[in-house]
Structure 1
Amino acid sequence: MKFSVVIPLYNKENFIAQTLNSVLAQSFTDFEVLVINDCSTDGSEQVVNTFEDSRIRLLRHTNNSGLSASRNTGIKNARANYVAFLDADDLWKPDFLKSINFLIENYPEASLFATKYELKLDQNNTTEFHFDFENFTTHGIVSNFFKTNLNQSIFYPSCLCVRKDVFETVGHYNETVNYSEDIDFNIRAFARFKLAYFNKALVTYLMVSENQITQKGLLGKKIPDYDFYEEKFKDRKDIKKYLDFQRYIKAKLFKLAGDTNQYKSLISKIDPSNLNIKQKILLHLPVFVLKWIGKSKQLLLKKGINLNSYSD
């Protein structure tokens, strides 16, 4: 078996059938599917049970434990050497696993593999970002994950496949973190291992899901310990800049959520030289202006116009 597909499931009754169908429709068929029900309170599990496919295994948590714990349960129960992740409201295009397998076979120096994605903004609007890589056009090794991701992220968790022994080296998902769990793992993983990437949108990331955490703000959320990683990798300027970029993003979100203490704590650790002029200005704008900018960006994105603060 080549792939173990891990799908964390919590209250996605209206989405999980589509997600599973997108896996079962893969042109590359050597895989198992592990659905981890994290104590859903809706009919999510009943929907999964309607699928009669021997490749699907349903695992249950006895207590609601969060996204990291669900991914870890999948990793620990995976039978394959390659673990691919798919959120229960996202979709794979039919050639996703085929393309990941192509990367595995053609880039043996890599241990993590991912593809580009498209954003489904609502029922009628889908868009994708354009990424330029210095050493390839269609596929190849990302020369430096941290430098490449100082802009719009080049992949979401549903785009990622990891060779299983990576977890043995850098650890599993941090179960104490309940916002940006993927960022926490990525810091550890890409400090040690290489990423092979397919620059084609083979994943549909749904922004219309009814319980997307990213739509609810950061109040009460535990984010990665950027100070810990700054100390751990203190000789890596590329990681420091990436950490400051993450602090910038989270500081704005905490400000919007009304958590002034977290906002001040994060910006106090940022080296100003790691931010551009637009980012410095945005950090200090009033909340009502940030909210207006956020709404305007969403409207423009639906028209295919992507405005961001990531470039000068």
Structure 2
Amino acid sequence: MIPEKNSCLVSIIIPVYNAERYIAETVQSCLNQLYTNFELVIVNDGSTDGSEAEILNFNDSRIKYFRIENSGSCEARNFGISKALGQLFQFLDHDDVLDANKLSRQVNKYQEFGDDYIYSAEMGTVSNTGRTKGRGYELYEKNFTPIEYFETLFNQFGKCMTTGAWLVPEKLLKSTHGWDKRAGLNDDGEYFMRIIVNSSGIVFCKAALFFFRRDVPNSLSKQFGTKDVYVKWLYSYKSYVKHFIDAFEYSKAKELGWKALSVYYCASYPKYPDLLRECRSEMKKLGYNKPCAHGGDVFVKTSKVIGIMLTLKLWYLRGKAKFF
């Protein structure tokens, strides 16, 4: 179905937790949108800092503000969905920002292609020094079928579309269940994977800019400090496998599922051998005995010469040697 022009309410959903340093800029970037038919659903996920005061400084009838007990960003987003009235959904993290043209460019494409597609944007970064167009995301700046998108995602290293880049029609949002906290740090990848496999494809919207923040004081080493994080991370990629098999031709689904599991294996090796064994067991169900190489160019080239398992061991020892 192609909607009539200018009829679409966009629901922007922002979960907020202890974001007093950034939330005002994030909210203002939404209020600055040239496309004005939107509601801004802000869900305060039990913040203990001054986030609420920053939010209440704004006086705009399009803002819907809710405060809930701390439940995590997935539950906060799901709560936001339950309160939203839009035909299109923009999810945004509490420290990221939208360019003023972001929604207008994407809604224009939506008017053209309709609600069987999900809409992507150009990616950039924001920090205390300003906003910059991102490098390395050019490979995503085109239209994709779902299979083409996942082939691109798994055949490169270190770059992916993140939460705020997407605009999701209500039809696709309702085609799957909500945000899944069991996916942990990959909750956004797992959620949008489910949306994408249920879509007819991805429509790229040129000059629709989204900026994710790079100067947040939250180290990756701290985020990956417990086994539970890895359990959830593996869960997310097992979810990819399930939904690929449900959506795609079986041989292609198995190949993509293997590549998804390989992302986990290569990135987590050698931590938690029991989880690595579980990951390889899932690969064997798909007909693959070992992971494929997922890493930088040198890593991939080395694996072609000496094999993936020896390359993983070598990279681990090389990284360990840096600390001596």
Which interval holds the TM-score relative to the shorter structure? 0.7 to 0.9
SS in 1 for 2:138: coil
- How many Å separate the matches in 1 of 2:115 and 2:131? 37
Q: Deviations over 1:54-109 (max 9, x none)?
A: 111111212x2111111111111111111111101111111100111122012126
Q: Where does residue 289 of structure 1 map in the other structure?
A: 318
Question: How far 1:19 moved relative to its partner?
Answer: 0.6
Q: Where does residue 297 of structure 2 map in the other structure?
A: none
**Does residue 246 of structure 1 match 2:264?**
no
Q: Where does residue 51 of structure 1 map in the other structure?
A: 58
Question: How far 1:163 moved relative to its partner?
Answer: 1.2
Alignment gaps of 5+ in structure 1: 294-312
Question: How far 1:35 moved relative to its partner?
Answer: 0.7
- How many Å separate the matches in 2 of 1:121 and 1:255? 31
Give the alignment partner of residue 293 of structure 2, picking from 238, 260, 275: 275
Q: Deviations over 1:114-149 (max 9, x none)?
A: 21211347747944224246xxxx654546321232
Question: How far 1:4 moved relative to its partner?
Answer: 0.4
Q: Where does residue 70 of structure 1 map in the other structure?
A: 76
Report % sequence identity: 22
Distance verdict in 2 for CA 1:56–1:139, change over 3 Å: same
Give the alignment partner of residue 145 of structure 1, picking from 146, 149, 158: 149
Q: Where does residue 304 of structure 1 map in the other structure?
A: none
- How many Å separate the matches in 2 of 1:197 and 1:230? 25
Normalized per residue, the structure richer in helix is 2
Is the 2:122–2:206 contact (alpha carbons within 8 Å) kept by the matching residues of 1?
yes
Q: Deviations over 1:179-236 (max 9, x none)?
A: 2112222332222212212244601111211347786226222233434553554344
Equivalent AA in structure 1 for residue 211 of structure 2: T
Q: Where does residue 20 of structure 2 map in the other structure?
A: 13
Is the 2:35–2:101 contact (alpha carbons within 8 Å) kept by the matching residues of 1?
yes
Distance verdict in 2 for CA 1:107–1:245, change over 3 Å: same
Give the alignment partner of residue 85 of structure 1, picking from 87, 91, 103: 91
- How many Å separate the matches in 2 of 1:33 and 1:46? 17
**Does residue 261 of structure 1 match 2:279?**
no
Question: How far 1:29 moved relative to its partner?
Answer: 1.0
Distance verdict in 2 for CA 1:78–1:231, change over 3 Å: closer
Q: Where does residue 31 of structure 1 map in the other structure?
A: 38
Distance verdict in 2 for CA 1:237–1:119, change over 3 Å: farther
**Does residue 113 of structure 1 match 2:123?**
no
Is the 2:124–2:209 contact (alpha carbons within 8 Å) kept by the matching residues of 1?
yes
Distance verdict in 2 for CA 1:23–1:250, change over 3 Å: same
Q: How many residues align?
A: 288
Distance verdict in 2 for CA 1:231–1:16, change over 3 Å: closer
Q: How does 1:186-201 map to 2 (within 5 A)?
A: 186-193=192-199, 194-200=201-207
* TM-score normalised by structure 1 residue count: 0.79
For structure 1, which segment, 183-192 or 223-232, has the greater mean C-alpha deviation from structure 2 after superposition? 223-232
Q: Where does residue 306 of structure 1 map in the other structure?
A: none
For structure 1, which segment, 4-13 or 123-132, has the greater mean C-alpha deviation from structure 2 after superposition? 123-132
Question: How far 1:21 moved relative to its partner?
Answer: 1.0
Q: Which has the greater radius of gyration?
A: 2
Distance verdict in 2 for CA 1:204–1:225, change over 3 Å: closer
Is the 2:45–2:76 contact (alpha carbons within 8 Å) kept by the matching residues of 1?
yes
Is the 1:282–1:290 contact (alpha carbons within 8 Å) kept by the matching residues of 2?
no
SS in 2 for 1:226: helix
Q: Where does residue 22 of structure 1 map in the other structure?
A: 29
SS in 2 for 1:170: coil
Is the 2:137–2:159 contact (alpha carbons within 8 Å) kept by the matching residues of 1?
no
Q: How does 1:194-233 map to 2 (within 5 A)?
A: 194-200=201-207, 202-211=209-218, 216-217=223-224, 219=226, 220-221=228-229, 222-223=232-233, 224-227=235-238, 229-231=240-242, 233=244
* TM-score normalised by structure 2 residue count: 0.76
- How many Å separate the matches in 2 of 1:18 and 1:121? 11
- How many Å separate the matches in 2 of 1:212 and 1:101? 35
Q: Where does residue 166 of structure 2 map in the other structure?
A: 160
Equivalent AA in structure 2 for residue 46 of structure 1: A
Equivalent AA in structure 2 for residue 98 of structure 1: S
Alignment gaps of 5+ in structure 2: 1-7, 295-299
Equivalent AA in structure 2 for residue 247 of structure 1: L
- How many Å separate the matches in 2 of 1:4 and 1:165? 14
